[in-house]
Amino acid sequence: MTYLFNQPSAFASELIEGFVAANADKVRQVPGGVVRSTRSQPGSVAVIVGGGSGHYPAFAGLVGQGLAHGAAMGNLFASPSAQQIYNVARAADNGGGVLLMFGNYAGDVLHFGQACERLRSEGIPCEVLAVTDDVSSASADEIEKRRGVAGDLTVFKVACAAAEAGHDLASVLKVASHANDRTRSFGVAFSGCTLPGASHPLFEVGEGRMALGLGIHGEPGIKETDVPTANELAEIFVDRLLSELPQDITQAEGQRVAVILNGLGTVKYEELFVVYRRVAQLLEAAKLQVIEPDVGEFVTSFNMAGASLTLMWLDDALETFWRAPTNAPAYRKGSVIVAEQLAPAECVEQAQETLPQASAESQASAQRVLQLLEAVAKMLQANAEKLGDIDAVAGDGDHGIGMERGVLGAVEKAREVARRGAGAGTLLCRAADAWADKAGGTSGALWGVALTALGTALGDQQQPDAQRVASGVRHAQEGIMHFGKAKVGDKTMVDVLVPFADSLNDAVAKGESLTAAWLQAAKIANEAAQATAQLLPKMGRARPLAEKSLGTPDAGAISLAMIVDTVGNLLNDNATADQGV
């Protein structure tokens, strides 16, 4: 369990505050994460890393001279929002462009990609690189689908050293891609992790058993075996990683490797050293030269009991960057000349955002939309644990928490702009930004897209009618499928959204009222959500564990069905009240 916390919802923000207080000589806090508190070379590339909290030392602990210039930090196990990433990148920008680096998870890909587009639109050169080192998460034939685990550190380290040495953005991206191509990791777990305030772990491993191929967000392993001895675990690690060489290496003998034996939270240093004793023997027997190995905690999974082994196959350039000195809060190597401290950041009061003019009809409709959002928030809060349990079958179990954070952020923002006279369209668009920012993760990004599409369709001048709402839902479907890349049959929320949008638009086209059309579509949505239990996931974190999810519906599909059902019931209640029944 997790012992020390105040409010679970405040855990991520409070840990950042404490981390900065403890490391003010190296980092300072900015909206969305942390950046260096020391001066960087003007005109140099800024490397921004990031992901969900709960993985310390990743990601904040890797900010400092010789390593990252900033870290965007999401909530526990949830990707930071595009706004957070943008804020960190702008604060860290040195004038030489920005490289955004992260583990290859759907939410991170969406949010970092959106932040990259925004930076480019403002004239800041920007590139992205997703780390794909986990050999258990996809086959070698689909290497681009692999997730990033402890190999994040080797790839980050090389890229940041290249930036520190003055290489331009194209060169830093090239060497980072090369490091990623030559990095492989494999992990195991003996028990799952428990997030603050949760009553049970995200997943469980049987007594005396070990899960192989776990992910760092609590994703269950691909299979289980009896707990081995330390020597046997070392042999499992080395055998698996030596069975797949990078494409440009024909034989292992005579090669140089960087090695990380990583503890995932509860397996501690003394145990890791016992394992590394045998790892070193095996690598020597394979005639591999180990260069500056690291043993300890580098990319954790909160309090998970587990470990992973990472190899990065070196050449002269990669070795130079791997050996380069660094001085970050959680990772130090060699000796650096301590850079000058920046002057304390000035507190600039943010001007209140202006709102577009709205008609009285649209302002009145905004109050109805706020009422709908509040009803959805109440429903999601009541069902957060249920949605998390569904998600935990083959995912990381955080869907309910993420949806709750997102909708509460959306409601808070909606109330604020409603008080200031926002129209229905603006209220939804501002709520969309808040949902994406507070929730993070894939669902946060996609719900931000959906609400923005709906708000754009409604506008601020006319009272929403059935046609505009149906059109907005159709645009939301198109936006989600464009950004999320999922299609019907992939076992995602799209399996519900498409039939819901089709039914709603068909009924409205036939002259049905919004309430009648919505209730009919909501029934179809519920049926489609339950039908996802018979599908195998083809997207996201559940894909490597597809068989485990058979018989269980998709959490995102279920939450969408719950939301449209809640909205439909309130629409019906309001219609009945308007008729005086």
Pairing of strands 70-76, 46-53: parallel
Write out 347-399 in H/E/C secondary structure.
CCCCCCCCCCCCCHHHHHHHHHHHHHHHHHHHHHHHHHHHHHHHHHCCCCCCH
The catalytically annotated residue of 167, 217, 399, 475 is: 217
Six token digits for residue 142: 């689909």
Return d(Cα 51, Cα 134) in angstroms, integer.
16
Torsion angle defined by CA atoms of residues 354, 359, 363 and 365, in that order, rounded to the nearest 10 degrees: -130
* Residues 536, 537, 542: CA angle, nearest 5 degrees: 125
Asked if 462 and 468 touch (Cβ cutoff 8 Å), the reply is: yes
With both helix axes pointing from N to C terminus, report the angle between 494-509 and 466-484 in degrees, rounded to the nearest 10: 150
> What CA–CA distance (Å, rounded) separates 396 from 402?
11
For the record, the structure tokens of 139 come out as 């086959």
Do residues 404 and 376 make contact, with C-beta atoms less than 8 angstroms apart?
no
Omega within 30 of 0 (cis) for the link into 57: yes
The H or E element that residue 443 is part of is: helix 441-458
Give dist(CA 70, CA 36) in Å, integer: 6
548: enclosing H helix or E strand:
helix 546-549
Name the residue with tokens 């943008």. 86
The first and second tokens of residue 387, run together, are: 């949605």
Question: Residue 186's beta-bridge partner residues?
Answer: 309
- Beta-carbon contacts of residue 243 (< 8 Å; ≥ 6 apart): none
* H or E segment to which residue 320 belongs: helix 316-323
Is residue 217 part of the annotated active site? The answer reads: yes
How long a stretch of residues is the chain?
A: 581
The 3-state secondary structure of 323-334, one letter per residue: HCCEEECCEEEC
Q: Is residue 288 classed as helix, strand or coil in its secondary structure?
A: coil
Cβ atoms within 10 Å of 372's Cβ, excluding its own: 17
Active site amino acids? 217
